[in-house]
């Protein structure tokens, strides 16, 4: 049996409903009607699916075009040869003798020389130290904000994100001045060191300067997720812990800290991952020996113009980050089975 | 087992006096309830006993020892919170073990005590569950087990049954009574639910505006409220403005608004001319048809104004010939019959002369 299109059915149903509402017709249980209603339900579901695509489509497209596609291109590029004047060597050459196709050369190059692995390890270490310092500095700050009266919390959060209102590079240049040899800080420090007979130190262009700027740039990314987590804690839990015999340290260590693990994890990821890819700070504030993976990659694309090797480094960095995040998530998951 | 004493305890928040010169003695092994409407100061008292708050004046003594200088974590007093406050990152067993860990009990002893506590609240099978996997009643039992496991000298319960639905609450009430009898620890319970207080307690302190209005056993509190507030707060009651006309041995004569002359329970200290209210519980009022109830000293003609059918009982509101409205509560005990009278029926209401009482304002 062929059925009329659903739009006609629903308009019939609508008219019938209207008639019932207006009192012209008494509602009657009819099999035809109930079947129609079922059909309309399934139409509603179809509409819901359409809405879902309409809503999530644009961002999905955005991600596909600007993340997935470039990622795929990078993967492919890492298996190619560099072009004579930068870029990639052509896959189709006029002279078959000179044709360079697909290769694992860049990977062999990376694993063949210890120097690149060293940059990776140093970068990971730098990112780890930055993350730890950010955590140690942001935790008390987040705790302070979360335990402040409700009225003053938002102004305090505003102060935390205030550095975002000025350009990131301007902040870095400010650090160049603060840490520079002519700055009051350097003069005072070296004057004090002189009193104790210690040779003057240079603050700028050192791993210290890089670390200071990395922490400065990433502290809000640690503080905000921590604060959002701590703010949600039920204060009754601390009362209960105290009531059951826990002193201030035990209340922190046994209640607040374990409950804040999701915040610690989120904040750490938001600091650790960008620091690994950071190149501006080491370039401006670091010495010649303070190159990080980010600098190395940037150098491949803009300096030596070896795109395939730059792509390889990018991919290896991504793989390393994913591996670390996966490991951390597993470790954090062990303590966070509760909802 | 401990005797708790509050001596002239006062607590102010700015201009607001939350607790106003309260003195109470809670005996060892007693199930004591602080009952009152919200804002009457009962929770403030509980927080001061637990150590989360300090009195501005007065003393709190546990077995004669002043608690003022002992911080909450060092007091041998545990609390069952209204929200249960179970640690969401710990299992049921770990939650119950928490106070034992804080008291540095040995691992073996902790394990044994946790098992015992779990069995006591019938949750042995749920030891490894997390709080979010439990039902409301189970959470309640974990909170109880956690509060009791380290044998505090006093257990405080803050509106502990309020979050449960009616049926479960009744079940937990019975469990709570049994548990208290079993462990013999002094319980101090805070609630605004008067039925719950009557069911559970050995003694109840009724509070209002930071003051204790009356401390008594449940049956005495219900049967012999000391003043209008207590009478009105505990259970339902008919309150009618009245004035004493004659106070003698064995009886008290009053003139009540809308009722006229009435005989009430004798009251020491009542003198002719005193003004107050005449109070009569709805279940003491009987309803009959014309010609009945004449044997009662207080009986009046009236008409059924409205009725509330409640299943086991019905509440009839009867308008008397002289204008007063009286509530009567009748059990629906006759098989198959739900309503004995209908709205508009001409009836007679009456009660024994010793059923009603006179209360000073």
Nearest to B61 by CA among B109, B17, B23: B23
A124: domain CATH number is 1.10.3720.10
Same-domain status, A2 and A123: no
Same-domain status, A154 and A38: no
The answer, yes or no, to whether residue A7 has pLDDT greater than 60, is no
Nearest Cβ partner for A245 among B89, B103, B131:
B103
Give yes or no for A241 touching B (CB within 8 A).
yes
Let me know: does A267 contact A226? Beta carbons within 8 Å.
yes
Minimum distance, in Å, between the CA of residue A246 and any CA atom of chain B: 6
Confidence label for A93 from pLDDT (cuts 50, 70 and 90): low
Q: What is the pLDDT of residues A215-274, one digit of tens each?
A: 999 999 999 999 999 999 999 999 999 999 999 999 999 999 999 998 999 999 899 989
Minimum distance, in Å, between the CA of residue A146 and any CA atom of chain B: 19
Let me know: does A266 contact A220? Beta carbons within 8 Å.
no
Same-domain status, A268 and A147: yes
Chain B: residue nearest A334 by CA? B89
Q: Regarding predicted confidence, which is higher, A132 or A194?
A: A132
Same-domain status, A157 and A23: no
Q: What is the pLDDT of residues A138-179, one digit of tens each?
A: 999 999 999 999 999 999 999 998 888 888 889 889 998 998
CB atoms within 10 A of CB B310: 10
User: A239 vs B85: CB contact, 8 Å cut-off?
Assistant: yes
Same-domain status, A115 and A241: yes
Same-domain status, A22 and A169: no
Let me know: does B339 contact B318? Beta carbons within 8 Å.
no
Give yes or no for A264 touching B (CB within 8 A).
no
Same-domain status, A122 and A226: yes
Chain A residues in contact with B139 (beta carbon < 8 A): none
User: B85 vs A236: CB contact, 8 Å cut-off?
Assistant: yes
Give yes or no for A259 touching B (CB within 8 A).
yes
Same-domain status, A23 and A101: no
Least trusted range by pLDDT, from A248-252, A282-286, A316-320: A282-286
Same-domain status, A315 and A186: yes
Same-domain status, A146 and A31: no
Same-domain status, A121 and A13: no
Chain B: residue nearest A337 by CA? B89
Minimum distance, in Å, between the CA of residue B93 and any CA atom of chain A: 14
Structure pTM?
A: 0.78
CA dist A34 and A17 (Å) reads 13
Nearest Cβ partner for B50 among A236, A243, A338:
A243
Successive 10-residue mean pLDDT values, chain B, 361 residues:
89 93 93 93 94 94 92 94 93 95 93 92 91 91 92 91 80 87 91 90 94 94 91 90 83 84 81 87 87 79 88 88 86 72 86 86 74
Minimum distance, in Å, between the CA of residue A269 and any CA atom of chain B: 22
pLDDT at A232: 93
Q: Where are the domains of chain B?
A: 4-229, 237-360
Minimum distance, in Å, between the CA of residue B194 and any CA atom of chain A: 25
User: B85 vs A240: CB contact, 8 Å cut-off?
Assistant: yes
CA dist B160 and B173 (Å) reads 10
Chain A: residue nearest B152 by CA? A244
Q: What is the pLDDT of residues A111-147, one digit of tens each?
A: 888 888 888 898 999 999 999 999 999 999 999 999 9
Let me know: does B187 contact B203? Beta carbons within 8 Å.
no
Count the residues in chain B: 361
User: B98 vs A254: CB contact, 8 Å cut-off?
Assistant: yes
User: B131 vs A338: CB contact, 8 Å cut-off?
Assistant: yes
Q: How far apart are the first and last CA of chain A?
A: 51
Q: Please give the structure tokens belonging to residue A277.
A: 């890819």
Nearest Cβ partner for A236 among B72, B81, B150:
B81
Minimum distance, in Å, between the CA of residue B192 and any CA atom of chain A: 20
Same-domain status, A106 and A23: no
pLDDT, average across residues A274-280: 87
Confidence label for A2 from pLDDT (cuts 50, 70 and 90): very low
Give yes or no for A257 touching B (CB within 8 A).
no
pLDDT at B220: 93
Nearest Cβ partner for B99 among A245, A255, A336:
A245
Give yes or no for A21 touching B (CB within 8 A).
no
Give yes or no for A239 touching B (CB within 8 A).
yes
Structure-token match 């690149």, residue found: A116
Structure-token match 């009839």, residue found: B316
Architecture of domain B237-360: Beta Barrel (2.40)
pLDDT at A5: 52
CA dist B61 and B3 (Å) reads 8
The ipTM (two decimal places) reads 0.84
Strands ordered across the beta sheet of B57-62: B16-26, B4-13, B57-62, B65-66
User: B87 vs A240: CB contact, 8 Å cut-off?
Assistant: yes
Provide the domain count of chain A: 2
User: B83 vs A234: CB contact, 8 Å cut-off?
Assistant: yes
Q: Please give the structure tokens belonging to residue A269.
A: 């990821």
CATH of domain B4-229: 3.40.50.300
User: B89 vs A336: CB contact, 8 Å cut-off?
Assistant: yes
The parent domain of residue A37 ranges over: 1-45
Classify the C-alpha dihedral B238-B239-B244-B250 as positive or negative: positive
């Amino acid at each position: 049996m062929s059925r009329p299109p659903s739009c006609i059915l629903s308009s019939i149903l609508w008219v019938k409903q209207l008639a019932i509402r207006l009192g012209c017709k008494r509602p009657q249980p009819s099999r035809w009607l109930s079947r129609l209603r079922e059909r309309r339900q399934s139409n509603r579901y179809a509409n819901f699916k359409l809405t879902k695509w309409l809503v999530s489509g644009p961002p999905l497209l955005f991600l596909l075009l600007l993340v997935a596609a470039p990622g795929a291109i990078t993967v492919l590029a890492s298996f190619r040869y560099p072009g004579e004047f930068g870029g990639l060597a052509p896959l189709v050459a006029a002279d078959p003798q000179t044709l360079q196709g697909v290769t694992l050369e860049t990977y062999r190059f990376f694993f063949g020389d210890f120097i690149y692995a060293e940059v990776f390890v140093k970068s990971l270490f730098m990112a780890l130290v930055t993350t730890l310092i950010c955590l140690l500095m942001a935790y008390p700050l987040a705790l302070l904000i979360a335990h402040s009266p409700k009225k003053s919390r938002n102004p305090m959060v505003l102060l935390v994100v205030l550095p975002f209102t000025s350009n990131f590079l301007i902040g870095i240049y400010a650090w160049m001045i603060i840490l520079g040899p002519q700055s009051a800080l350097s003069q005072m420090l070296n004057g004090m060191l002189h009193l104790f007979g210690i040779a003057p130190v240079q603050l700028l262009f050192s791993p210290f300067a890089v670390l200071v700027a990395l922490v400065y740039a990433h502290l809000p990314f640690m503080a905000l997720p921590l604060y959002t987590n701590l703010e949600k804690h039920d204060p009754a839990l601390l009362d209960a812990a105290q009531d059951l015999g826990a002193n201030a340290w035990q209340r922190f260590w046994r209640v607040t800290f374990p409950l804040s693990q999701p915040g610690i994890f989120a904040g750490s990821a938001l600091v650790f991952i960008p620091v690994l890819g950071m190149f501006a700070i080491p370039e401006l504030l670091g010495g010649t020996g303070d190159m990080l993976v980010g600098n190395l990659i940037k150098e491949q694309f803009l300096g030596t113009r070896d795109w395939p090797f730059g792509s390889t480094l990018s991919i290896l960095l991504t793989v390393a980050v994913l591996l670390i995040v996966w490991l951390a998530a597993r470790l954090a998951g062990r303590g966070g089975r509760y909802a | 087992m401990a005797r708790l004493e509050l001596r002239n305890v006062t607590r102010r928040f700015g201009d607001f006096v939350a607790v106003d010169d309260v003195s109470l003695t809670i005996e060892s092994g007693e199930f004591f309830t602080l009952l009152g409407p919200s804002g009457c100061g009962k929770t403030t008292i509980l927080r001061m006993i637990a150590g989360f708050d300090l009195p501005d004046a007065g003393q709190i003594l546990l077995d004669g020892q002043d608690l003022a200088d002992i911080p909450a974590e060092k007091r041998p007093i545990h609390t069952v919170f209204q929200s249960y406050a179970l640690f969401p990152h710990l299992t049921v067993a770990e939650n119950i073990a928490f106070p034992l860990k804080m008291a540095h009990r040995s691992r073996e002893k902790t394990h044994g005590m946790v098992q015992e506590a779990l069995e006591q609240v019938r949750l042995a099978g749920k030891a490894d569950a997390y709080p979010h996997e439990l039902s409301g009643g189970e959470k309640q039992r974990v909170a109880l087990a956690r509060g009791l496991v380290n044998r505090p000298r006093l257990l405080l319960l803050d509106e502990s049954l309020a979050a449960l639905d009616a049926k479960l609450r009744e079940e937990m009430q019975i469990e709570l009574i049994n548990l208290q009898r079993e462990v013999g620890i002094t319980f101090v319970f805070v609630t605004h639910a008067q039925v719950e207080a009557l069911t559970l307690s050995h003694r109840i302190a009724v509070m209002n505006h930071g003051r204790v209005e009356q401390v008594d056993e449940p049956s005495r509190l219900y049967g012999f409220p000391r003043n209008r507030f207590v009478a009105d707060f505990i259970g339902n009651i008919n309150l009618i403005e009245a004035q004493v006309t004659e106070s003698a041995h064995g009886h008290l004569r009053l003139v009540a608004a809308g009722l006229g002359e009435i005989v009430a329970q004798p009251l020491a200290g009542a003198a002719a001319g005193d003004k107050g209210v005449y109070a009569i519980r709805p279940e003491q009022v009987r309803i009959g048809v014309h010609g009945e109830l004449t044997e009662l000293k207080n009986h009046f003609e009236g008409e059924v104004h409205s009725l509330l059918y409640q299943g086991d009982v019905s509440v009839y509101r009867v308008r008397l010939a002289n204008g007063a409205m009286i509530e009567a509560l009748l059990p629906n005990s006759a098989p198959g019959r739900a309503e004995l009278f209908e709205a508009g029926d001409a009836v007679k209401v009456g009660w024994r002369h010793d059923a009603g009482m006179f209360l000073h304002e």
